[in-house]
Amino acid sequence: MTAERLVCGWQRVDRDELRRILRDNELCRPVACDANVDHLFDTYETVLRQVADSLAPQHSLRLRTGRLAPTFDADCCATRWHCRRLERCYRWTLDAEHRRLWLDAVCQRFRLYRAKKEAYWLSRLEQDGRSLPQLWRSLSSLLGRDSDTTRASGHNVFRRED
């Protein structure tokens, strides 16, 4: 599944162009002492929105909204965050020691993922393994082969087609 989100490309804005536009518009002109404050705020908002829309127009991004694995918990999230922090440190310094620390953390992260996955599946087999129909239902739902979708599509998973 994907979701669309509107974003602005603020990193690509030319700062000199932004200064020039702000300097040349009505925000940088002198204001009368008896000016209406509401009118000034409306002008401020209108001008800044126009500048933002011209320099950093909105565009849509498609984001995958996939579900995380059932084995991905807080430990996995913290380990992934730690690996990314070490990677950023290495990419910033290009130091051999930082690279070694980052690669060691990546190996440790994959070992943790593998251990969590094995523990999850072993507990799932212990829980549902005594009942084959229950095991089949849990595995079918994980594989996306729910009985409703197989019936609706007219496929029979048990029938062999020659």
Per residue in 66-99, pLDDT tens? 667 888 888 999 999 999 999 999 999 999 999 9
Q: Return the pLDDT at 57.
A: 87
Angle of CA points 137, 66, 134, to nearest 5°: 10
CA distance 102 to 109: 10
Give me the residue label for tokens 């996306």: 144
Extents of the domains making up the chain:
2-64, 69-128, 130-162
pTM for the model stands at: 0.47
Element (H, E) at 58: strand 58-64
Most confident of 10-24, 81-95, 127-141: 81-95
Check pLDDT > 70 for residue 147.
Answer: no
Q: Looking at the predicted structure, is the pLDDT value of residue 102 above 80?
A: yes
Sign (positive or negative) of CA dihedral 151, 157, 160, 162: positive
Packed helices 96-128 and 132-143: angle between N→C axes, nearest 10 degrees: 140
